[in-house]
Amino acid sequence: MIFDPNVILKHLPEIIQGTGVTLALWIAGMAFGIALGFLVATTRRYGGKATNVVLAIPVEILRGTPFLVQIFLVYYGGPFAGLSLGPIPCGLICLTVYSAAYYSEVFRAGFAAVPHGHVEAAECLGLSRVQIIRRILLPEMALIVLPPSVNLAVILLKESAVLSIITVPELTTTISAIGSQEYAFLEAIFLLAVIYWAIVEASAKLGRIAEARLSTFRFSAP
Amino acid sequence: MTLPAINVKKLVKRFGTATVLQDIDLEVPEGKVSCLIGPSGSGKSTLLRCMAFLEESSEGMITVNGEALGFFENARGERERLPAAQIRAVRSQIGMVFQQFNLWPHMTALGNVSEALKTVHKVPKTEAEDRAMAQLKKVGLENRANHYPSQLSGGQQQRVAIARALTLSPKIMLFDEPTSALDPELTGEVLNVMRDLAAEGMTMVVVSHEIGFAATVGNQISFLDQGRLLFTGAPADVFAKPRHPRLEQFLDTYLDRGASMLV
Amino acid sequence: MKKTTFLKAALGAAMLFSASLSAHAEDVLAKVKAAGTLKVGTETAFAPFDYIDAGEHAGLNVDLFAEIGKELGVKIEWVALPWEGVLPGLEAGKFDVVAGPATITKARLERYRFTVPIAEATVAILKKAGAPISKPEDIAGKAVGVGKATAQLAQLTEFSATLPTKVDIREYPAFNDAYADMAAGRIVAVANSLPNIAFVAKQRNGAFEVVLPPFGKKTYFGFIGTKDADHASLVDAIDAALLKMKADGRMAKLQEKWFGQKFDTPDAVKDPAF
Amino acid sequence: MSFKLFFLLLKAAGWTLSISLVSILLGFALAIGLSAVLLSSKRLYRAPAELFISFFRGVPLLVQLLFIYNLLPFIGLNVPSVVAAIIGLTLCTAAYQAENLRGGFESVPRGLIEAADMAGFSVRQIFLRIKVPIAMRLTFPALVNEAIMILKSSSLVSVVGIVEVTKMAQDLASSTYLPIELFSSAALIYLVICWSIALIGRYTERALPGGVK
């Protein structure tokens, strides 16, 4: 059993493509998830008590079940309910909805962490609700939600590997196929670990830079 | 004259490049109440913490009842750190009361007071709790023994903290702004406990903004400003007019004007 | 250029360390007999060889290995993995032999040692009932499912290359997933070995149909062992048990039970057609 | 869907529960050690622990499990499926829990330690009597979250050959063609367990004496 790096070099184009699919799905799923999650969090906060409770149900279900089970339900159960999606759209939708549930909680916590006095001060000055959200809550929230958002992003990247189980042609699928095809199982696992690790470390680093940038806008400790 | 309880000589404390204490010389007389006053940032808390060896001084010496605290001067005249066991032994003569009480939140009042007896001094549980109970009684909190800190008011917490320090029978008690984290109506109960303690002849060093307390209970007042000890004396001398201009300014600026009229 | 060399060296060095520790010689048959259990790796989504029937592991493999166990005087311990993990598991020593079964191919013979063939493995098409496929060539341009890392995939890829328009090949972790997707309508056909698809067509009566003739070359299924000397005695013993079962008719009976027919299989495949 | 199928799922949930539980506990024990190393002032000690945490937080659990199952034998550690699954989940959760604990230890208020210092506690006594109990309370909510995460992550251990709830549902779905019913039931089982953990966690947290304000 000798490690053979030639296998990796030979399949470099496919590996790059698989990495591309993973990155694209991850970033798209996260972007849609952040948008949807923000919508959910805002609606829950300002939409009245009933709306809050009704929206809590899907959020809690999504957070209380494994991503894999959600994918299976949509991918294999979907066609029986008239929803026949290909692996990529199915993967993207699942990733979006899953991340939206978690991001909505991050934003909800962010809203809650802004001192109520700041909102009251804005109300007294006659700012409208939308103005308060845009001018007061969002800027204050940005720094609060950044670290958990970066953590969540890393978790989502790792969850995206699960999409290989429904044959989405992403990184894990691609590399394990190469591994079987070339009987280079160990090389494949090794390479997979290294690539994911590199992406995670890079994004964590980016997150720290963003955090440092953002915190310079904060004038004083509360 | 007897040996001072605490003797501070040529003490210097630096944080990085900032010098927060400069050439402090101070004798804390035994059985008396010494008060350290001064504006925020004058270094009075740092000085008190150096006396407890919670801060390590940069230069100079402190002795407690004649024994070196933390550092000693070796044969070649160099400052050298004492071994940890020796530091603990000297420090055992000192009790400390903090501004933020610092009660251990996972223990009841009784637990807080008896913990060190049980853990450090290996006193059997029942005896430790009896002794702790006696101290709680002294600060008037025997009926709060089984309450957790979060269930007590600030004043009660501070009284428990005093009881905690007293159970170890210290010879000297240090108070680091013991009432400044309290609501005004709760400071009285703590000051009363401190007054009782002073009446018993406990050696006390108090950092406080309670000028009234310093003036009435204190035997010695030291005024610090910008890291320097400007003067030390009896309250009557210190507060007598004409006052030192910095003290006058301090009394005017940091206290409401009524207080400066009082003293 | 220098960069590649460095990359190779670095990766190689990292793995060499682990490789150097793995060499240890021990006769596997003796070990199995001493332990009293034969560990068999497989995937449980390959009906009728290995599948889950109402929560129970069932199939030809289960019956065959029960007999092999009797012959060797050991109990059988099953380890079920996704197919992609089965051969790596064998190489990592997670089990002594792989049931599967796997198609005996040239490429695999280079790396593994196969037992006596247990069934025919020639690949054919299973289509969704009513799909416009009447002969194998009709799958040109259509979406066809197949298992990942299988010989069936390799044969389908080869067949696809001979067609005027290529087949839209979809790879699945297990053939079961491919059948499920065909039922869901995402693909119109699945390429798998005849015994498998005949069984599935019968199970899902009417929903799926077998398209004859098979497009693949004539191939056979066997169980898989490793080629190293330690495992030789074990695979020999399994071969002997299988040959004994062929001779006394037990094999034919089990084939009848699971396929509704018996296969005329050779005693060994030295030079596979594929 | 018949009761029998649901019963089979419940039976498989036994694996889900037991593997998760063992991993959480082992992970916690490992995390205490790791966090102690992380708090060390010596960079040389911290570095390997940081590398460990970075790896197990940076690589998908699916890949970690394959790594452990297929790579350990080459260093002479051929462990059966259950052990591989537990090792995988344990190492993964230990990495996360160690970070939590480190944060917890770092947020034990300085004054509480000074108070113990003044009372003559040794370093060891301060650690055991003050730091550990307070850090535990501070990190308890994170521990409950982590338990839920691991329970959900255990859905992946079928790649090393464990038939837990998700795999059982998948197996049953492929022979009964009832994917909606089976996967919904599996989801329900996870929900009930997760919500129970959350509930017990909240109850326990409230019962813990005096949190740090």
Q: What pLDDT, on the 0 to 100 scale, is given for residue B40?
A: 85
Partner-chain residue, chosen from C21, C55, C81, that has the shortest CB–CB distance to D75 = C21
Segments in C185-228 forming alpha helices (H): 194-203
Chain D CA closest to residue B51: D118
**Which residues are bridge partners to C209 per DSSP?**
C127
Q: What is the CATH number of the domain that holds C164?
A: 3.40.190.10
Spatial neighbors of B191 by CB under 8 A, at least 6 apart, are B179, B210, B213
Residue C99, pLDDT > 50, answer yes
Spatial neighbors of A84 by CB under 8 A, at least 6 apart, are A78, C184, C185, C186
Same structural domain, C41 and C100: yes
Q: Which of B20, B3, B30 is nearest to B58 (CA)?
A: B20
| Domain count within chain C | 2
Q: Is the whole-model pTM more than 0.90?
A: no
Question: Which tokens go with A160?
Answer: 């995206």
In a domain, C1, yes or no: no
Contact by Cβ (8 Å): B1, B44: no
Half-sphere exposure of A9 (CA within 13 A, CB side): 12
Q: What share of chain C is helix, strand, coil (3-state, %, to 5)?
A: 45, 25, 30
Mapping DSSP onto H, E and C, the string for A159-212 reads HHHHHHHHCCCCHHHHHHHHHHHCCCHHHHHHHHHHHHHHHHHHHHHHHHHHHH
CA angle B54, B59, B63 (to 5 degrees): 60
Residue D109, pLDDT > 80, answer yes
Give the pLDDT confidence of A109-144 residue by residue, as tens digits: 998 888 888 888 888 888 888 888 888 888 888 888
Phi/psi for C144 (5° steps) reads -125, 135
- How far, in Å, CA of D3 to CA of D6, rounded? 5
**Mean pLDDT along residues D4-20:** 93
Q: Which of A155, A152, A154, A157 is nearest to A23 (CA)?
A: A157
Complex-level ipTM beyond the 0.95 threshold: no
Spatial neighbors of D190 by CB under 8 A, at least 6 apart, are A64, A65, A66, A69, D16, D151, D152, D155, D165
Same structural domain, C101 and C136: no
In a domain, C3, yes or no: no
Q: What pLDDT, on the 0 to 100 scale, is given for residue D211?
A: 53
The residues spanned by each domain of chain D are 18-163
Chain A CA closest to residue C112: A183
Q: What pLDDT, on the 0 to 100 scale, is given for residue C268?
A: 87
CB within 8 Å: A1 and C22: yes
Lowest mean pLDDT among A16-25, B252-261, C219-228, D154-163: B252-261
In a domain, C164, yes or no: yes
- How far, in Å, CA of C184 to CA of C188, rounded? 10
Partner-chain residue, chosen from D73, D173, D175, that has the shortest CB–CB distance to C54 = D175
Q: What pLDDT, on the 0 to 100 scale, is given for residue A78?
A: 87
The one-letter amino acid at B57: S
Q: Predicted confidence band at A221 (pLDDT cuts at 50, 70, 90)?
A: very low
Residue from B54, B106, B113, B180 to probe the interface with D (highest D Cβ count within 10 Å) = B106
Q: What pLDDT, on the 0 to 100 scale, is given for residue B254?
A: 62
- CATH homologous superfamily of domain A5-215? MetI-like (1.10.3720.10)
Same structural domain, C40 and C159: no
Instruction: Tell me which residues of chain B have a pLDDT lower than 50.
Output: 257, 260
CB within 8 Å: C84 and A1: no
Q: At what angle do helices A171-181 and C83-91 cross, to 10 degrees?
A: 50
Instruction: Indicate the length of chain A as a whole number.
Output: 222
- How far, in Å, CA of D47 to CA of D101, rounded? 17
**D18-163 under CATH 3.60.20.10, yes or no:** no
Give the pLDDT confidence of A178-211 residue by residue, as tens digits: 888 888 888 888 899 999 999 999 999 998 888 8
Range of the domain at C229: 26-120+220-259
In a domain, C184, yes or no: yes
Q: Which of C52, C96, C47, C45 is nearest to C74 (CA)?
A: C96
DSSP strands (E only) in chain C:
37-42, 45-46, 50-53, 56-58, 75-80, 97-103, 112-114, 119-120, 123-128, 143-147, 168-172, 189-193, 208-211, 220-226
Same structural domain, C199 and C255: no
Q: What pLDDT, on the 0 to 100 scale, is given for residue B223?
A: 92
Instruction: Indicate the length of chain D as a whole number.
Output: 213
H or E element, residue B112:
helix B109-119
End-to-end CA distance of chain A: 59
Residue C3, pLDDT > 80, answer no
CB within 8 Å: A200 and D156: no
Q: What pLDDT, on the 0 to 100 scale, is given for residue C267?
A: 87
Is D5 in CB contact (< 8 Å) with chain C? yes
Residue C13, pLDDT > 80, answer no
- Supply the DSSP string of A75-107, one letter for each residue: IIIGGGGT----HHHHHHHHHHHHHHHHHHHHH
Lowest mean pLDDT among B68-82, C54-68, C165-179: B68-82
Residue C140, pLDDT > 60, answer yes
Same structural domain, C110 and C130: no
Chain D CA closest to residue C44: D171
